[in-house]
Structure 1
Amino acid sequence: MKPMPLARLLAAASLGALLSACQMLPGAADKLEPQRHAWEHLKPGCQGDGCPLVNIDTISFQGEPQLNDLINQRLLRMTQDAPGAPLPASLESYERDFLASAQPGWASYLQAKVLEQHDRLVLVELSSYLFTGGAHGMPGRGYINYDRTLEKPLTLGDMLLPGQEEAFWKVAEQAHRRWLASNRLDQDPDFLSTWPFQRTAHVGLGYGAVLLKYDVYSIAPYSSGHPELRIPYPQLNGILKPRYFPGRG
Protein backbone atom coordinates (compact mmCIF):
# COMPACT_ATOMS: atom_id res chain seq x y z
CA MET A 1 0.00 0.00 0.00
CA LYS A 2 1.43 3.38 -1.03
CA PRO A 3 1.69 5.95 1.79
CA MET A 4 -0.74 8.87 1.60
CA PRO A 5 0.93 12.04 0.22
CA LEU A 6 1.64 14.67 2.84
CA ALA A 7 -0.71 17.23 1.24
CA ARG A 8 -3.64 14.79 1.28
CA LEU A 9 -2.80 13.75 4.83
CA LEU A 10 -2.86 17.37 6.01
CA ALA A 11 -6.11 18.02 4.13
CA ALA A 12 -7.76 14.98 5.71
CA ALA A 13 -6.60 16.07 9.15
CA SER A 14 -7.93 19.60 8.59
CA LEU A 15 -11.31 18.27 7.42
CA GLY A 16 -11.55 16.03 10.48
CA ALA A 17 -10.76 18.94 12.77
CA LEU A 18 -13.38 21.09 11.00
CA LEU A 19 -16.05 18.43 11.36
CA SER A 20 -15.21 17.99 15.03
CA ALA A 21 -15.45 21.74 15.58
CA CYS A 22 -18.85 21.85 13.87
CA GLN A 23 -20.13 19.10 16.13
CA MET A 24 -19.09 21.17 19.15
CA LEU A 25 -21.16 24.20 18.12
CA PRO A 26 -24.07 24.85 20.52
CA GLY A 27 -26.84 22.41 19.65
CA ALA A 28 -25.30 21.45 16.30
CA ALA A 29 -25.93 17.72 16.82
CA ASP A 30 -29.07 18.00 18.96
CA LYS A 31 -31.78 19.78 17.00
CA LEU A 32 -35.38 18.76 16.53
CA GLU A 33 -36.62 18.25 12.99
CA PRO A 34 -39.97 19.99 12.55
CA GLN A 35 -42.65 18.34 10.45
CA ARG A 36 -44.65 20.88 8.46
CA HIS A 37 -48.45 20.72 8.12
CA ALA A 38 -49.84 23.28 5.68
CA TRP A 39 -53.15 23.70 3.90
CA GLU A 40 -55.51 26.34 2.54
CA HIS A 41 -59.25 25.89 2.13
CA LEU A 42 -61.89 28.14 0.58
CA LYS A 43 -65.49 28.42 1.67
CA PRO A 44 -67.27 25.32 0.35
CA GLY A 45 -69.08 25.96 -2.92
CA CYS A 46 -67.48 29.38 -3.45
CA GLN A 47 -65.77 30.33 -6.70
CA GLY A 48 -63.98 33.52 -7.66
CA ASP A 49 -61.37 35.91 -6.30
CA GLY A 50 -63.32 37.03 -3.24
CA CYS A 51 -63.87 33.60 -1.69
CA PRO A 52 -63.24 33.49 2.07
CA LEU A 53 -60.26 31.35 2.99
CA VAL A 54 -58.34 29.85 5.89
CA ASN A 55 -54.62 29.24 5.49
CA ILE A 56 -52.83 27.22 8.17
CA ASP A 57 -49.09 26.50 8.15
CA THR A 58 -47.92 24.83 11.33
CA ILE A 59 -45.38 22.32 12.63
CA SER A 60 -45.04 19.38 14.97
CA PHE A 61 -42.13 17.40 16.39
CA GLN A 62 -41.81 13.65 16.76
CA GLY A 63 -41.59 12.63 20.41
CA GLU A 64 -42.50 16.11 21.73
CA PRO A 65 -46.23 15.91 22.54
CA GLN A 66 -46.11 18.72 25.10
CA LEU A 67 -44.49 21.14 22.66
CA ASN A 68 -46.92 20.11 19.92
CA ASP A 69 -49.92 20.73 22.17
CA LEU A 70 -48.47 24.07 23.20
CA ILE A 71 -48.09 25.22 19.59
CA ASN A 72 -51.69 24.22 18.81
CA GLN A 73 -53.06 25.98 21.89
CA ARG A 74 -51.13 29.16 21.18
CA LEU A 75 -52.37 29.24 17.58
CA LEU A 76 -55.93 28.70 18.77
CA ARG A 77 -55.56 31.60 21.20
CA MET A 78 -54.53 33.81 18.29
CA THR A 79 -57.92 33.18 16.66
CA GLN A 80 -59.75 34.98 19.48
CA ASP A 81 -60.90 38.28 18.02
CA ALA A 82 -62.40 39.64 21.23
CA PRO A 83 -61.64 39.36 24.96
CA GLY A 84 -63.39 36.35 26.44
CA ALA A 85 -64.19 34.81 23.05
CA PRO A 86 -64.47 31.01 23.26
CA LEU A 87 -61.42 29.00 22.31
CA PRO A 88 -61.96 26.65 19.35
CA ALA A 89 -61.58 22.95 20.08
CA SER A 90 -59.11 22.46 17.23
CA LEU A 91 -57.68 24.17 14.17
CA GLU A 92 -60.02 22.11 12.01
CA SER A 93 -63.12 23.19 13.94
CA TYR A 94 -61.94 26.82 13.82
CA GLU A 95 -61.59 26.59 10.06
CA ARG A 96 -65.04 25.03 9.68
CA ASP A 97 -66.79 27.64 11.84
CA PHE A 98 -64.91 30.59 10.31
CA LEU A 99 -65.74 29.60 6.75
CA ALA A 100 -69.37 28.83 7.62
CA SER A 101 -70.01 32.43 8.67
CA ALA A 102 -67.40 34.26 6.56
CA GLN A 103 -68.38 37.05 4.19
CA PRO A 104 -66.75 37.61 0.77
CA GLY A 105 -63.15 38.73 1.15
CA TRP A 106 -62.65 37.44 4.66
CA ALA A 107 -59.41 35.58 5.33
CA SER A 108 -57.57 34.00 8.25
CA TYR A 109 -53.91 32.99 8.28
CA LEU A 110 -52.14 31.08 11.07
CA GLN A 111 -48.50 30.04 11.06
CA ALA A 112 -45.98 28.44 13.42
CA LYS A 113 -42.33 28.04 12.46
CA VAL A 114 -39.00 27.37 14.14
CA LEU A 115 -37.12 30.64 14.31
CA GLU A 116 -33.99 29.25 15.98
CA GLN A 117 -32.63 26.28 17.94
CA HIS A 118 -29.64 26.39 20.26
CA ASP A 119 -28.58 25.00 23.65
CA ARG A 120 -31.60 22.65 23.78
CA LEU A 121 -33.89 25.65 23.36
CA VAL A 122 -36.48 25.79 20.60
CA LEU A 123 -37.68 29.28 19.68
CA VAL A 124 -40.99 29.05 17.80
CA GLU A 125 -42.50 32.13 16.18
CA LEU A 126 -46.29 32.30 15.87
CA SER A 127 -48.01 34.53 13.34
CA SER A 128 -51.60 35.34 12.50
CA TYR A 129 -53.52 37.62 10.18
CA LEU A 130 -57.29 38.10 10.30
CA PHE A 131 -59.26 40.15 7.79
CA THR A 132 -62.98 40.55 8.31
CA GLY A 133 -63.53 43.78 6.42
CA GLY A 134 -62.41 47.36 6.91
CA ALA A 135 -59.28 49.18 5.83
CA HIS A 136 -56.92 46.36 6.74
CA GLY A 137 -56.61 43.12 8.65
CA MET A 138 -55.17 42.57 12.09
CA PRO A 139 -51.84 40.73 12.34
CA GLY A 140 -50.54 39.00 15.46
CA ARG A 141 -47.18 37.66 16.63
CA GLY A 142 -45.86 35.60 19.51
CA TYR A 143 -42.98 33.44 20.70
CA ILE A 144 -42.61 30.11 22.44
CA ASN A 145 -39.28 29.57 24.20
CA TYR A 146 -39.30 25.84 24.87
CA ASP A 147 -36.61 24.46 27.18
CA ARG A 148 -36.15 20.82 26.21
CA THR A 149 -34.15 20.09 29.34
CA LEU A 150 -36.89 21.35 31.66
CA GLU A 151 -39.62 20.22 29.22
CA LYS A 152 -41.55 23.47 29.61
CA PRO A 153 -42.13 26.83 27.95
CA LEU A 154 -40.23 29.66 29.60
CA THR A 155 -41.77 32.78 31.05
CA LEU A 156 -39.72 35.93 31.44
CA GLY A 157 -39.43 35.12 35.13
CA ASP A 158 -37.93 31.73 34.25
CA MET A 159 -35.27 33.44 32.12
CA LEU A 160 -34.16 36.08 34.62
CA LEU A 161 -32.22 35.95 37.84
CA PRO A 162 -34.37 36.66 40.93
CA GLY A 163 -35.28 40.31 41.34
CA GLN A 164 -33.96 41.41 37.94
CA GLU A 165 -37.16 42.14 36.02
CA GLU A 166 -36.95 45.93 36.42
CA ALA A 167 -33.29 45.84 35.36
CA PHE A 168 -34.30 43.86 32.27
CA TRP A 169 -36.84 46.46 31.21
CA LYS A 170 -34.35 49.28 31.74
CA VAL A 171 -32.04 47.54 29.27
CA ALA A 172 -35.04 47.08 26.96
CA GLU A 173 -35.66 50.85 27.08
CA GLN A 174 -32.10 51.37 25.89
CA ALA A 175 -32.81 48.99 22.99
CA HIS A 176 -35.93 51.03 22.24
CA ARG A 177 -33.87 54.24 22.06
CA ARG A 178 -31.51 52.54 19.62
CA TRP A 179 -34.50 51.45 17.53
CA LEU A 180 -35.83 55.00 17.46
CA ALA A 181 -32.45 56.35 16.38
CA SER A 182 -31.96 53.72 13.67
CA ASN A 183 -35.37 54.63 12.22
CA ARG A 184 -34.72 58.39 12.59
CA LEU A 185 -37.64 58.81 14.95
CA ASP A 186 -35.74 60.02 18.01
CA GLN A 187 -36.02 63.67 16.91
CA ASP A 188 -39.76 63.54 16.22
CA PRO A 189 -41.53 64.93 19.33
CA ASP A 190 -44.99 63.96 18.04
CA PHE A 191 -43.95 60.34 17.53
CA LEU A 192 -42.23 60.18 20.91
CA SER A 193 -45.30 61.46 22.75
CA THR A 194 -47.78 59.33 20.80
CA TRP A 195 -45.79 56.09 20.87
CA PRO A 196 -43.83 55.83 24.15
CA PHE A 197 -41.91 52.75 25.22
CA GLN A 198 -43.96 49.83 26.53
CA ARG A 199 -43.23 46.37 27.80
CA THR A 200 -44.15 43.38 25.68
CA ALA A 201 -45.12 39.80 26.42
CA HIS A 202 -43.19 38.60 23.35
CA VAL A 203 -39.60 37.93 24.44
CA GLY A 204 -37.46 35.44 22.48
CA LEU A 205 -34.12 33.88 23.37
CA GLY A 206 -32.43 34.22 20.00
CA TYR A 207 -28.89 33.06 19.36
CA GLY A 208 -27.45 36.47 18.50
CA ALA A 209 -29.62 38.57 20.83
CA VAL A 210 -32.70 38.55 23.03
CA LEU A 211 -35.63 39.54 20.79
CA LEU A 212 -38.56 41.72 21.83
CA LYS A 213 -41.46 41.64 19.37
CA TYR A 214 -44.29 44.20 19.59
CA ASP A 215 -47.89 44.09 18.45
CA VAL A 216 -49.10 46.63 15.92
CA TYR A 217 -50.32 49.88 17.49
CA SER A 218 -48.14 49.31 20.57
CA ILE A 219 -44.99 51.43 20.13
CA ALA A 220 -45.59 52.50 16.52
CA PRO A 221 -48.46 52.95 14.04
CA TYR A 222 -49.89 50.12 11.97
CA SER A 223 -47.66 50.99 9.00
CA SER A 224 -44.59 50.02 11.08
CA GLY A 225 -45.79 46.43 11.36
CA HIS A 226 -44.38 44.48 14.31
CA PRO A 227 -41.39 46.42 15.68
CA GLU A 228 -38.54 44.24 16.96
CA LEU A 229 -35.99 45.29 19.55
CA ARG A 230 -32.74 43.40 20.03
CA ILE A 231 -30.78 43.22 23.28
CA PRO A 232 -27.18 41.97 22.95
CA TYR A 233 -26.42 39.29 25.53
CA PRO A 234 -23.44 41.12 27.12
CA GLN A 235 -25.89 43.80 28.29
CA LEU A 236 -27.75 41.15 30.28
CA ASN A 237 -24.88 39.98 32.48
CA GLY A 238 -26.21 39.74 36.02
CA ILE A 239 -29.80 39.92 34.70
CA LEU A 240 -30.34 36.82 32.57
CA LYS A 241 -29.72 33.39 34.07
CA PRO A 242 -26.28 32.19 32.92
CA ARG A 243 -27.69 28.98 31.42
CA TYR A 244 -29.63 31.01 28.85
CA PHE A 245 -26.59 32.70 27.38
CA PRO A 246 -25.84 30.95 24.06
CA GLY A 247 -23.13 28.36 24.45
CA ARG A 248 -23.64 27.92 28.19
CA GLY A 249 -26.83 25.88 28.20
Structure 2
Amino acid sequence: MIPTAYIRNFIVLSSLAMLLGGCQHFASEHPVEVRQTVTEQRPDGCKGENCPLVNIDSLTFADEPELNRLIDARLRRMTLNGPDDRLPESLQSYQQRFLSTAEPGWSSYLQAKLRDQHRNILVVELSSYLYVGGAHGMPGRGFINYDSKRDSELRLEDLLIPGQEGNFWRTARQAHQRWLVENEHDQDAAFLEFWPFQQTANVALLKDSVLLKYDVYSIAPYSSGHPELFIPHEQLKGILKPEYL
Protein backbone atom coordinates (compact mmCIF):
# COMPACT_ATOMS: atom_id res chain seq x y z
CA MET A 1 0.00 0.00 0.00
CA ILE A 2 1.13 3.55 -0.73
CA PRO A 3 1.50 5.60 2.49
CA THR A 4 -1.38 8.04 2.86
CA ALA A 5 0.97 10.94 3.61
CA TYR A 6 2.59 10.77 0.19
CA ILE A 7 -0.74 10.61 -1.63
CA ARG A 8 -2.13 13.48 0.44
CA ASN A 9 0.92 15.62 -0.34
CA PHE A 10 0.48 15.30 -4.08
CA ILE A 11 -3.30 15.81 -3.92
CA VAL A 12 -2.93 18.99 -1.87
CA LEU A 13 -0.31 20.42 -4.21
CA SER A 14 -2.38 19.56 -7.27
CA SER A 15 -5.41 21.28 -5.77
CA LEU A 16 -3.31 24.31 -4.92
CA ALA A 17 -2.09 24.50 -8.49
CA MET A 18 -5.68 24.74 -9.75
CA LEU A 19 -6.57 27.37 -7.17
CA LEU A 20 -3.66 29.48 -8.29
CA GLY A 21 -4.67 29.14 -11.92
CA GLY A 22 -1.40 27.49 -12.79
CA CYS A 23 0.81 30.43 -11.72
CA GLN A 24 2.90 31.16 -8.63
CA HIS A 25 4.50 34.43 -7.55
CA PHE A 26 6.88 34.75 -4.60
CA ALA A 27 6.99 38.15 -2.96
CA SER A 28 10.56 39.35 -3.49
CA GLU A 29 12.66 42.04 -5.10
CA HIS A 30 12.49 40.16 -8.40
CA PRO A 31 9.24 38.15 -8.56
CA VAL A 32 9.16 35.38 -11.11
CA GLU A 33 6.30 33.76 -12.94
CA VAL A 34 6.15 29.99 -12.78
CA ARG A 35 3.52 27.69 -14.21
CA GLN A 36 2.69 24.42 -12.50
CA THR A 37 1.56 21.52 -14.68
CA VAL A 38 0.08 18.36 -13.17
CA THR A 39 -0.62 15.24 -15.23
CA GLU A 40 -1.73 11.80 -14.11
CA GLN A 41 -1.97 8.87 -16.51
CA ARG A 42 -3.21 5.30 -16.20
CA PRO A 43 -3.21 2.48 -18.76
CA ASP A 44 -5.87 2.93 -21.41
CA GLY A 45 -9.12 1.30 -20.39
CA CYS A 46 -8.03 0.59 -16.83
CA LYS A 47 -10.55 1.56 -14.17
CA GLY A 48 -10.51 1.29 -10.39
CA GLU A 49 -8.22 2.17 -7.51
CA ASN A 50 -5.75 -0.60 -8.35
CA CYS A 51 -4.78 0.80 -11.76
CA PRO A 52 -1.09 1.69 -12.16
CA LEU A 53 -0.48 5.40 -12.50
CA VAL A 54 2.19 8.00 -13.17
CA ASN A 55 1.71 11.44 -11.62
CA ILE A 56 4.02 14.26 -12.79
CA ASP A 57 3.78 17.64 -11.06
CA SER A 58 6.33 19.98 -12.63
CA LEU A 59 7.18 23.65 -13.12
CA THR A 60 7.97 25.88 -16.06
CA PHE A 61 9.60 29.22 -15.30
CA ALA A 62 9.08 32.18 -17.59
CA ASP A 63 12.36 33.46 -19.06
CA GLU A 64 14.44 30.73 -17.36
CA PRO A 65 15.09 28.09 -20.04
CA GLU A 66 18.22 26.74 -18.35
CA LEU A 67 16.38 26.18 -15.07
CA ASN A 68 13.54 24.46 -16.94
CA ARG A 69 16.10 22.19 -18.61
CA LEU A 70 17.67 21.35 -15.24
CA ILE A 71 14.28 20.48 -13.71
CA ASP A 72 13.43 18.18 -16.60
CA ALA A 73 16.83 16.47 -16.50
CA ARG A 74 16.76 16.01 -12.74
CA LEU A 75 13.23 14.57 -12.70
CA ARG A 76 14.16 12.13 -15.46
CA ARG A 77 17.19 11.04 -13.44
CA MET A 78 14.95 10.38 -10.44
CA THR A 79 13.07 7.73 -12.45
CA LEU A 80 16.08 5.40 -12.36
CA ASN A 81 15.40 2.53 -9.98
CA GLY A 82 18.15 0.03 -10.76
CA PRO A 83 21.57 -0.35 -12.39
CA ASP A 84 20.03 -1.55 -15.65
CA ASP A 85 17.51 1.29 -15.98
CA ARG A 86 17.96 3.63 -18.94
CA LEU A 87 17.56 7.37 -18.60
CA PRO A 88 14.32 8.22 -20.42
CA GLU A 89 14.48 10.66 -23.30
CA SER A 90 11.51 12.55 -21.89
CA LEU A 91 9.07 12.38 -19.00
CA GLN A 92 6.35 11.46 -21.47
CA SER A 93 8.31 8.44 -22.70
CA TYR A 94 8.88 7.44 -19.08
CA GLN A 95 5.13 7.53 -18.45
CA GLN A 96 4.49 5.25 -21.42
CA ARG A 97 7.27 2.82 -20.53
CA PHE A 98 6.27 2.57 -16.88
CA LEU A 99 2.59 1.99 -17.63
CA SER A 100 3.34 -0.58 -20.32
CA THR A 101 5.09 -2.87 -17.82
CA ALA A 102 3.42 -1.90 -14.52
CA GLU A 103 1.53 -4.40 -12.43
CA PRO A 104 -1.72 -3.59 -10.59
CA GLY A 105 -1.11 -1.16 -7.74
CA TRP A 106 2.20 0.18 -9.00
CA SER A 107 2.64 3.95 -9.04
CA SER A 108 5.21 6.63 -9.73
CA TYR A 109 5.13 10.25 -8.57
CA LEU A 110 7.49 13.02 -9.70
CA GLN A 111 7.32 16.57 -8.45
CA ALA A 112 9.13 19.91 -8.65
CA LYS A 113 8.12 22.79 -6.39
CA LEU A 114 9.50 26.24 -5.64
CA ARG A 115 10.79 25.90 -2.08
CA ASP A 116 12.22 29.40 -1.67
CA GLN A 117 13.17 32.58 -3.51
CA HIS A 118 15.39 35.40 -2.30
CA ARG A 119 17.09 38.07 -4.37
CA ASN A 120 18.17 36.27 -7.56
CA ILE A 121 18.24 32.78 -6.01
CA LEU A 122 15.52 30.25 -6.85
CA VAL A 123 15.43 27.04 -4.81
CA VAL A 124 13.52 24.18 -6.44
CA GLU A 125 12.84 21.02 -4.44
CA LEU A 126 12.51 17.78 -6.38
CA SER A 127 10.58 14.78 -5.08
CA SER A 128 9.88 11.27 -6.27
CA TYR A 129 7.99 8.28 -4.96
CA LEU A 130 8.05 4.86 -6.62
CA TYR A 131 5.94 1.92 -5.54
CA VAL A 132 6.50 -1.39 -7.32
CA GLY A 133 5.18 -3.78 -4.69
CA GLY A 134 6.23 -4.67 -1.18
CA ALA A 135 5.53 -3.03 2.15
CA HIS A 136 6.16 0.50 0.92
CA GLY A 137 7.60 2.52 -1.92
CA MET A 138 10.86 4.43 -2.16
CA PRO A 139 10.87 8.23 -2.02
CA GLY A 140 13.65 10.48 -3.28
CA ARG A 141 14.56 14.14 -2.80
CA GLY A 142 16.87 16.72 -4.32
CA PHE A 143 17.38 20.46 -4.79
CA ILE A 144 18.35 22.91 -7.49
CA ASN A 145 19.83 26.17 -6.22
CA TYR A 146 19.60 28.42 -9.25
CA ASP A 147 21.16 31.84 -9.72
CA SER A 148 18.89 33.59 -12.21
CA LYS A 149 21.39 36.41 -12.66
CA ARG A 150 24.13 34.00 -13.76
CA ASP A 151 21.75 31.53 -15.43
CA SER A 152 23.45 28.63 -13.67
CA GLU A 153 23.04 26.14 -10.84
CA LEU A 154 24.89 26.74 -7.59
CA ARG A 155 26.50 23.70 -5.98
CA LEU A 156 27.87 23.53 -2.46
CA GLU A 157 31.42 24.25 -3.63
CA ASP A 158 30.13 27.43 -5.29
CA LEU A 159 28.64 28.64 -2.00
CA LEU A 160 31.60 27.97 0.29
CA ILE A 161 34.67 30.09 0.87
CA PRO A 162 37.63 28.03 -0.45
CA GLY A 163 39.03 25.76 2.23
CA GLN A 164 35.89 25.89 4.42
CA GLU A 165 34.26 22.57 3.48
CA GLY A 166 35.50 20.89 6.67
CA ASN A 167 34.11 23.69 8.85
CA PHE A 168 30.81 23.50 6.98
CA TRP A 169 30.34 19.83 7.78
CA ARG A 170 31.44 20.37 11.39
CA THR A 171 28.69 22.98 11.67
CA ALA A 172 26.30 20.48 10.05
CA ARG A 173 27.16 17.98 12.79
CA GLN A 174 26.00 20.53 15.35
CA ALA A 175 22.71 20.86 13.46
CA HIS A 176 22.43 17.08 13.50
CA GLN A 177 22.91 17.08 17.26
CA ARG A 178 20.07 19.58 17.60
CA TRP A 179 17.90 17.33 15.42
CA LEU A 180 18.67 14.36 17.66
CA VAL A 181 17.62 16.32 20.75
CA GLU A 182 14.43 17.64 19.12
CA ASN A 183 13.43 14.11 18.10
CA GLU A 184 14.46 12.55 21.45
CA HIS A 185 17.15 10.34 19.92
CA ASP A 186 20.11 11.88 21.76
CA GLN A 187 19.87 9.43 24.69
CA ASP A 188 19.20 6.35 22.55
CA ALA A 189 22.55 4.56 22.34
CA ALA A 190 21.29 1.99 19.83
CA PHE A 191 19.94 4.71 17.53
CA LEU A 192 23.14 6.73 17.71
CA GLU A 193 25.24 3.70 16.86
CA PHE A 194 23.10 2.48 13.97
CA TRP A 195 22.27 5.91 12.47
CA PRO A 196 25.41 8.08 12.67
CA PHE A 197 25.78 11.48 11.03
CA GLN A 198 26.50 11.51 7.30
CA GLN A 199 27.02 14.12 4.64
CA THR A 200 24.31 14.65 2.03
CA ALA A 201 24.23 16.02 -1.50
CA ASN A 202 20.78 17.57 -0.89
CA VAL A 203 21.68 21.13 0.12
CA ALA A 204 19.32 24.11 -0.22
CA LEU A 205 20.34 27.76 0.16
CA LEU A 206 17.31 29.26 1.91
CA LYS A 207 16.76 32.92 2.73
CA ASP A 208 17.89 32.68 6.35
CA SER A 209 19.51 29.23 6.61
CA VAL A 210 21.07 26.35 4.74
CA LEU A 211 18.92 23.22 4.64
CA LEU A 212 20.36 19.71 4.51
CA LYS A 213 17.79 17.08 3.53
CA TYR A 214 18.46 13.37 3.88
CA ASP A 215 17.21 10.35 2.01
CA VAL A 216 15.32 7.66 3.91
CA TYR A 217 17.56 5.07 5.55
CA SER A 218 20.48 7.52 5.69
CA ILE A 219 20.59 8.98 9.22
CA ALA A 220 17.27 7.54 10.43
CA PRO A 221 14.86 4.66 9.68
CA TYR A 222 12.19 4.83 6.97
CA SER A 223 9.55 5.87 9.50
CA SER A 224 11.43 9.15 10.06
CA GLY A 225 10.91 10.19 6.45
CA HIS A 226 13.41 12.71 5.07
CA PRO A 227 15.21 14.34 8.04
CA GLU A 228 15.90 18.05 7.62
CA LEU A 229 18.80 19.86 9.29
CA PHE A 230 18.82 23.67 9.35
CA ILE A 231 21.98 25.75 9.76
CA PRO A 232 21.21 29.44 10.43
CA HIS A 233 23.22 31.92 8.35
CA GLU A 234 24.78 33.47 11.47
CA GLN A 235 26.53 30.15 12.13
CA LEU A 236 27.99 30.17 8.61
CA LYS A 237 29.81 33.49 8.69
CA GLY A 238 33.36 32.90 7.50
CA ILE A 239 32.22 29.62 5.89
CA LEU A 240 29.66 30.69 3.29
CA LYS A 241 30.64 33.37 0.78
CA PRO A 242 29.37 36.78 2.00
CA GLU A 243 27.16 37.30 -1.06
CA TYR A 244 25.07 34.28 -0.04
CA LEU A 245 24.50 35.37 3.56
TM-score (norm 1): 0.86
**Hey, what's the Cα distance between the residues in 2 that align with 1:121 and 1:29?**
11
Q: Distance in 1 between matches of 2:109 and 2:235?
A: 36
- C-alpha distance in structure 2 between counterparts of 1:135 and 1:184, whole Å: 26
State the Cα distance separating 1:40 from its structure 2 match.
0.6
DSSP-derived class of the 2:149 partner:
coil
Structure 1 portions without partners, runs of 5+: 1-25
**Letter of the aligned partner of 2:213 in structure 1?**
K
What is aligned with 1:63?
63
Q: Which residue in the other structure is 1:137 paired with?
A: 137
Deviation at 1:148, TM superposition (A): 1.1
Report the Cα offset of residue 189 of structure 1. Answer: 0.2
Q: Which amino acid aligns with 1:119?
A: R
Q: In the alignment, what sits opposite 2:83?
A: 83
Deviating more after overlay: 56-65 vs 222-231: 56-65
SS in 1 for 2:89: coil
> CA–CA distance in 2 between the matches of 1:213 and 1:194?
19
Measured in 2, the distance between the counterparts of 1:42 and 1:58 equals: 18
Structure 1 residue 208 displacement after superposition: 2.4
Kindly indicate whether the alpha-carbon contact (under 8 Å) linking 2:29 and 2:119 is maintained by their aligned counterparts in 1: no
Assess if the C-alpha contact under 8 Å between 1:31 and 1:120 holds in 2.
Answer: no
The within-5 A match list for 1:1-249 is 28-83=28-83, 85-245=85-245
Find the aligned partners of 1:211 and 1:199 in 2 and give their Cα distance.
12
Q: CA deviation at 1:84?
A: 5.5
Contact 2:64 2:148 in 1 (8 A): no
Deviation track 1:67-103 (CA, whole Å, cap 9, x = no partner) reads 0000000000000001352110001000000000000
- Please identify, of 36-45 and 90-99, the stretch whose mean Cα deviation from structure 2 is larger: 36-45
Query: Is contact 2:53–2:99 with CA below 8 Å preserved after alignment?
Result: yes
- Of structures 1 and 2, the larger Rg is shown by 1
Instruction: Tell me the amino acid that sits aligned with residue 104 of structure 2.
Output: P
Counterpart-to-counterpart distance in 2, 1:96 and 1:84: 18
Q: CA deviation at 1:27?
A: 7.3
Distance 1:184 1:29, change over 3 A: same
Question: Residues 32 and 61 of structure 1 are in contact (CA less than 8 Å); yes or no, is this contact kept in structure 2?
Answer: yes
SS of equivalent residue, structure 2 residue 35:
strand
CA deviation profile, 1:85-123 (whole Å, cap 9, x unmatched): 211000100000000000000000000010110020000
Distance 2:132 2:193 in 1: 31
Number of matched residues? 220
Alpha-carbon displacement from aligned partner over 1:143-173 (angstroms, at most 9, x marks no partner): 0000112211111100000011011000000
8 Å Cα contact 1:171-1:235 kept in structure 2:
yes
Q: Is the 8 A contact 2:216 2:225 kept in 1?
A: yes
Q: Give SS of 2:92's match.
A: helix
Q: Which residue of 2 is the match for residue 6 of structure 1?
A: none
Deviations 1:23-60 (A, max 9, x none): xxx97230211111111111112111100000010001
What is the letter of the counterpart of residue 171 of structure 1? Answer: T
C-alpha contact (below 8 Å) 1:27/1:120 kept by paired residues: no
Unaligned 5+ runs, structure 2: 1-25
Q: Is the 8 A contact 1:27 1:119 kept in 2?
A: no
Provide the aligned C-alpha RMSD in A: 1.2
CA distance in 2, matches of 1:49, 1:151: 43
CA change 1:183–1:30 in 2 (3 A) is: same
**1:137, 1:99 → 2: CA distance?**
16
What secondary structure does 1:235 align onto? helix
